[in-house]
Amino acid sequence: MTELATLFKQFLYRDLAFILGGLIVLWSLAYALRGRIAYPPIDLQNLSVASTVLMAVAAYVIGYAVQDVGAVLPLRLTSTSTRFQPGCLDKWLYKRFSRVSWENINYVATNEREFKFQIHLERLAIPERVLQELERIRSLKVISMCVGGCLYLSALIFLVHLFLNHSSVVDRVILIVSALFGTCLICLGRIKGMQEMQFYQSIHDERFPYG
């Protein structure tokens, strides 16, 4: 029962991130399309349970789709891969954030499948506190990438809105804030991904016994 509660808690953070990201995109679309498409006003105080669940599911799907689609685009902005080659900017940000220099990893071979090492981790007797810290890094990485990607899409929506309409100063401010905050979150997601790889390297070097 304790393991089930822990698993629920771990995934709840990520699920809420998908819902939050999706709501950002939905709100941006609703704001940009106001006056162009006739849709009934939504009374948030009197929403039915079915409507609330439907909105949460739609937001979840959108948030999840934005994060994964962004991961397969050429720039791979929102990738949550457990293994990538950091660039010079990534290494500089990592050093500024963690106060230590990036060290190359060797816990997996170049041609080894991505999940092979993670399966190997399941067989090791790793202390629970270590696994909790690793899961925290993973969750923060997903949250940063998902919400950051959704903010980028929100900024794109407001950019199109800016060209098609006479936007107000508020619209321009929202565009700039969304783009800047989205960039910050994606950079943090990259840093968390690098911390995750360094964490795997430390576990590999520690040579924990099999459980």
pLDDT digits (tens, 9 = 90+) for 41-58: 666 667 778 888 899 999
**How many domains does the chain divide into?**
1
- Domain hosting residue 105, numbered range: 2-206
Residue 124 belongs to a domain: yes
Residues 79-99: what's their mean pLDDT? Answer: 91
Residues 100-116: what's their mean pLDDT? Answer: 75
Residue 69 belongs to a domain: yes
Kindly state the DSSP code that residue 82 receives in the 8-state scheme. S
Give residue 44's pLDDT.
Answer: 63
Q: What does the radius of gyration of the chain's CA atoms come to, in whole angstroms?
A: 20
Instruction: Annotate 34-72 with DSSP letters as a single string.
Output: BTTB--PPP-GGG--HHHHHHHHHHHHHHHHHHHHHHHH
Tell me the residue type at 198. Answer: Q
Give residue 7's pLDDT.
Answer: 54
> Which of 25-34, 149-158, 168-177 is the most confident on average?
149-158
Residue 199: burial class (beta carbons within 10 Å; 0-12, 13-18, 19+):
middle
SS3 label, residue 22: helix
Residue 211 belongs to a domain: no
Residues 13-22: what's their mean pLDDT? Answer: 89
Residue 111 belongs to a domain: yes
Give residue 1's pLDDT.
Answer: 46
207, 124 in Cβ contact below 8 A? no
Cα 182 off chain centre by: 10
Give residue 28's pLDDT.
Answer: 93
3 pLDDT tier (thresholds 50, 70, 90): low
40 pLDDT tier (thresholds 50, 70, 90): low
Q: Angle 169-206/128-164 helices, nearest 10 degrees?
A: 160
> Which of 7-11, 36-40, 49-53, 92-96 is the most confident on average?
92-96
Give residue 170's pLDDT.
Answer: 87
Q: How many whole angstroms separate alpha carbon 83 and alpha carbon 158?
A: 33
Q: What is the pLDDT of residues 168-198, one digit of tens each?
A: 888 899 999 999 999 999 999 999 999 999 9
156, 70 in Cβ contact below 8 A? no
Residue 140 belongs to a domain: yes
